[in-house]
Amino acid sequence: MTTETTNSPAFILYRVEGNGPEARWTKIGAAWANRDGKGFNIACDAVPLQGRIVMRAYTPKPKADADAANDAELAVKAAAKKAGGR
């Protein structure tokens, strides 16, 4: 079995509290596939005592979307600075 070596995680871990549209999702870590394909290395920034852990496949955002999000964030910061904010 051949696996691709990458620094990007295969999965992102979330703590989910609640159900349906009212659920709160908090990113708590990531998981990388082992080279032999038989398991995962998991790095957690937090371990929840309540709620559940959901592991979702990681899909990197396309560069155009990332650039647009960055441009929007810069525009918001500029507007806040112009209005006397930080």
Report yes or no on whether pTM surpasses 0.75.
no
Which residue range is the domain that position 37 belongs to? 11-82
Q: What are phi and psi of 55, to 5 degrees?
A: -110, 115
> pLDDT tens for residues 42-57?
999 999 999 899 999 9
Residue 29 lies in a domain: yes
Residue 4 lies in a domain: no
Residue 20 lies in a domain: yes
Residue 48 lies in a domain: yes
> pLDDT tens for residues 55-82?
999 998 887 666 666 677 777 777 666 6
pLDDT score, position 61: 82
Residue 37 lies in a domain: yes
Kindly state the average pLDDT of the residues 9-34. Answer: 96
Number of domains into which the chain is organized: 1
**pLDDT(83) > 70:** no
The single-letter DSSP state of residue 61 is P
Residue 34 lies in a domain: yes
